[in-house]
Each structure stands twice: as structure tokens, then as C-alpha cells.
Chain A
Amino acid sequence: MKNLCIAAGLAAASVSFAGAAQAWQPTKPVEFVVTSGPGGGTDNFARVIQSIITKNKLFDQPIVVVNKGGGSGAEGYVYGRQNKSDPHRVIFGTNNAYLLPYVAKLGYKYSDLTPVAALALDEFIIWVNGSAPYNDAKSYIEAVKAKPGTFKMAGSQSKDTDQTLTAMIQLATGAKWIYVPFQGGGAAAVQLAGAHVDSNTNNPNENVGQWKAGQVKPLCVFSPVRLAKSDPVFEGKGWGDIQTCKEAGLPLETFQMPRTVWLPADVPADAVTFYADIMEKVSKTPEWQEFVSRTAQTGRFMKGKEFADFVAKDDAANAKVFEAEGWVVK
């Protein structure tokens, strides 16, 4: 069923790109629907894009940002369903667009959305407390394996990316943590800095403040290649000096969260092309590149088939974990 939905989305996307005439233009103010509360990662993502579009006058109509973060973002996608075929509502999210319907009954299906583009991939790093005796991922995992169910992993709410990644590590390595869900990455960062938990899997941006102070340290990043080089953050080490988890010997290579843009279902194909082109222009501006490097994300623009393929692959990988952990709602 789920795969059918994805296939439908794929088909919709490819149809959109078949008729790529630049006919459609917004005719009234465009609403940017943010699937997180004010201040959240998705909120910053949408507002930076808003400011870039406005500053560079990429289109004429004004942009209104609306936060609909209830139900970990489901509220925004349900809003998309309610505004079916309205091309003036652009929805900003992550991979939660296609993953949320697995784990909770939320009143929308992935087929209620039309994929537009992804602009960046947010990275995940295993962090431990700054004074912990581990200097690489391998030795930490071994320590966890030696005492199963005593080490604590902090992260954002249950069944979200952090816990999914934790479950993946557990499945791949046989280690076992107590997962403690907090309200967000910021709280997980402080809990780790205060040594109330043993590790977290925060995005770079969520832990950088504590890393600068040496309160936490990164072990490895779940990315196929190392992060872009940067100025040193702590004791001469910068983002580019963090080992990838594969280098560190973990049997788990990639875990990344796309920053995604969607439209409601049944919008004109031209409108999808229009927004995809706008987003592509945004992704090439120096302001965007600066934002991406400052938050240590990986800039990667995807649209059309490339994006649909990414979604299908990411969806399958996550769904496997959800099944294994018994999170899928009937």
C-alpha cells in the first residue's frame, strides 16, 4: 500500500517534469507552510528560503510563512491535504512527510503531497560527553555492548529520526541503549553536556555550542563522505576532521535527513516545475550556501526523478526499521 503511494508520487513527479513549460506563475500571495514550531530546524529552513526569494526577487508575489507544527508536523501535511490542488501553498518539511504516516494515525497519506525538491541533507553524528573515555565510535559501541541496557541515548521525540537511527545502530551492531526522548535536539544536547545521558545523535548544528566548550565530543558522522572542511571548532578539530562511521568501522554507512519542499496533490504540473526551478535558483545563491555551511549541513539539490528515487530509497530503509521495531500503526 505504502509503496503504491510512493509510486503514485513518483508518477506525479515525472508527469510534472514532462510538461516543463514555464507557463505557471503565482497569482496571489504564496503561503509557506512550516511543519515545525517557530524556531525549529524546518522553520529556519523555510525562513531562510523566504528571505532569499524576497531579497533576490525570485518571484513577485509576497510570501506568508505559517507554522503548523502540531503532531510533529502532521498538522502541516493535513493542511496540504485540505488544500488539495492549491498551488499557492508550499509545504516545508523533512523526511517526516513520508515517514509520519507509518508510525501514527494522522489523517493524511503521502499521496496527498506532490514532491517538489530537496535542498540539503542534515547530518547525524554520534556525540558523547566531553570527559567520556571514548575517542572513537568503535570503543564506545563495544562499551555499550559490554553492558547492554545501561547506557542512555538522548534524542528528540520517540519514533522520530534520532530514535530510528539509534534503532538502526542497535540492529547493525547488537548494542542496546535506553532511549530517552526529549522535546528536541537542543534539550538532548544540554542533557549530554550535563552528563545525564551517555550519548546523542544530534545534527551538527544542535550540538556545536557544547562542542565549542568541550562539553561534548563527536565520534563519527553517518555520511558517505566526511563533512566539508571548516574552521576549527574545538582543540583544532573542525567538522571535516570527524571520521565517517564507515571509517570508524561501524557496519552502517549513511543516515541523512533531507530538507524537503512539497505541494498539495493535484496541482498543475507547471506549478511544480515553477517552484522546483525557484528552489534550484535558491540553492545556488551565496546566501543559501553560507546557511548550509554555517549549519554544517550538506547542500544537495534534488528534484524530479532524482528526488523521487531518493525518497523511495529513504522510505524503504526507514520502513524496515519501523517494521523491525514494531512501530508501524495498522
Chain B
Amino acid sequence: MITRFWAESATAVATMAFGLIIVYGALEFGIGWDSSGPQPGAFPFYTGLLVALASLGTLALTIGRRIAGNAGLQESFLDAERFKRVASFFLPLLAFVVLSVTLGMYVATILYLVFAMRFQGGYGWLPSLATAFGAAAFFYLALEKFFQIGLLKGPLEPLLGL
């Protein structure tokens, strides 16, 4: 079980890291103030710094509350059951993205929709396949044919002559 304390702390550390990366990236361009106003790095530098400091503040506040025995922080952020639900949604999302960049977006859409409907939604093969191919066909016609925007394609589409 993840408590709220750990979720708060980890997020604060992550935003702090983000802020510091921005600070580091901004240093390249000069952060001072010259005759024509702030140098190109100044705005990113100070926003990065602000993010890092505010994150540090959140972290300190969270730890302080924990020491003071704040009950809210002991509450569950994500218990086992919820974690399972989030993971069972998020992992297919990740798979969708990986499939999109390897096999193309149409194949990824079809596989993902079939998987989600057949195995997670409990629908039969026929409605699952019909929805998946219907959606892919709609995207193909609307984007590729009508708006002339090509989606990512993988090795399969050329074989089908699309």
C-alpha cells in the first residue's frame, strides 16, 4: 500500500528534479539582466528555481506534518485493489504507445480495442472485433482520406496496399 505521504514526497521530488533540469538548461544562455533586459536564460532559470524551491517547500511541509502526526498523510493513496485497477488500465496504455511506434497506430488501435473489450470489458469476439475495425476504418477514412493526415504506419499497412 502506498500512503499519501510517499505519494506527496515522491511527486515533490519529481517536480523539484524537473525544476533543477530547467535551471541547468537555462544556464547555457545567460541569466543576467543587460541593457536590453533579461537575457534569454533568465526566465527559464527563475521559473525553474521557483519550481524547485516550491517543491522543496511542499516536501518540507509534508515531512513536517508527518512528524507532527498528521492523520491525513497515513491515509492510503493507492491500496492493492486500486493499484490493480490502475495498472490494468495503465499497462495497456503503455502497450498502445509501444505498439503505435512499432506496428503503427492502426494496428495498435485494433489490438488495444479488441483487448480492452474482449478481455477487460467481457464482450464477445464479434462485437469486439467489429468495434475495433470500425473505429480503425473511421480513423482511416476521416484522417487519411479526408483530412490527409497520415498516421504512423508499421510494416503491415504496405502489405495491405494502404
The secondary-structure label for the interface of chain A is strand
Count class of interface residues, chain A: under 10
Count class of interface residues, chain B: under 10
B104-162 contacts to A, CB under 8 A, are: 148-150
Rounded to whole angstroms, the CA-CA distance of A31 and B36 in the bound complex is 42
In the complex, A62 has a CB within 8 A of chain B: yes
Chain A residues whose CB sits within 8 angstroms of the CB of B150 once the complex forms: 29, 31, 64
Rounded to whole angstroms, the CA-CA distance of A223 and B111 in the bound complex is 60
Rounded to whole angstroms, the CA-CA distance of A64 and B150 in the bound complex is 9
Could you mark each residue 261-297 of chain A with 1 if its beta carbon is under 8 Å from any beta carbon of chain B, else 0? Answer: 0000000000000000000000000000000000000
- For A180, give the chain B residue with the smallest CB separation: B36
Chain A residues whose CB sits within 8 angstroms of the CB of B36 once the complex forms: 178
- For A31, give the chain B residue with the smallest CB separation: B150
Rounded to whole angstroms, the CA-CA distance of A65 and B150 in the bound complex is 10
Rounded to whole angstroms, the CA-CA distance of A178 and B148 in the bound complex is 44
Rounded to whole angstroms, the CA-CA distance of A64 and B36 in the bound complex is 42
Q: Which of B36, B148, B149, B150 has the most CB of A within 10 A?
A: B148
Rounded to whole angstroms, the CA-CA distance of A110 and B72 in the bound complex is 59
- For B28, give the chain A residue with the smallest CB separation: A105
Chain A residues whose CB sits within 8 angstroms of the CB of B148 once the complex forms: 62, 64-65
Rounded to whole angstroms, the CA-CA distance of A13 and B151 in the bound complex is 32
CB of B38, distance to nearest CB on chain A (Å): 14
Rounded to whole angstroms, the CA-CA distance of A54 and B149 in the bound complex is 17
CB of B162, distance to nearest CB on chain A (Å): 10
Chain A residues whose CB sits within 8 angstroms of the CB of B149 once the complex forms: 64
Rounded to whole angstroms, the CA-CA distance of A29 and B158 in the bound complex is 13
Chain B residues whose CB sits within 8 angstroms of the CB of A65 once the complex forms: 148
Chain B residues whose CB sits within 8 angstroms of the CB of A62 once the complex forms: 148
Rounded to whole angstroms, the CA-CA distance of A319 and B148 in the bound complex is 39
CB of A284, distance to nearest CB on chain B (Å): 27
CB of B109, distance to nearest CB on chain A (Å): 20
Rounded to whole angstroms, the CA-CA distance of A153 and B36 in the bound complex is 14
B4-52 contacts to A, CB under 8 A, are: 36
Q: Which residues of B contact A (CB under 8 A)?
A: 36, 148-150
Q: Which residues of A contact B (CB under 8 A)?
A: 29, 31, 62, 64-65, 178
Query: What 7 A-B pairs have minimum CB-CB distances, sorted nearest first?
Result: A64-B148, A64-B150, A62-B148, A64-B149, A29-B150, A65-B148, A31-B150
- Ordered by A's residue number, 8 sampled pairs between the chains whose C-beta atoms are within 8 Å are A29-B150, A31-B150, A62-B148, A64-B148, A64-B149, A64-B150, A65-B148, A178-B36
Given contacts A31-B150, A64-B149, 6 further A-B contacts (CB under 8 A): A29-B150, A62-B148, A64-B148, A64-B150, A65-B148, A178-B36
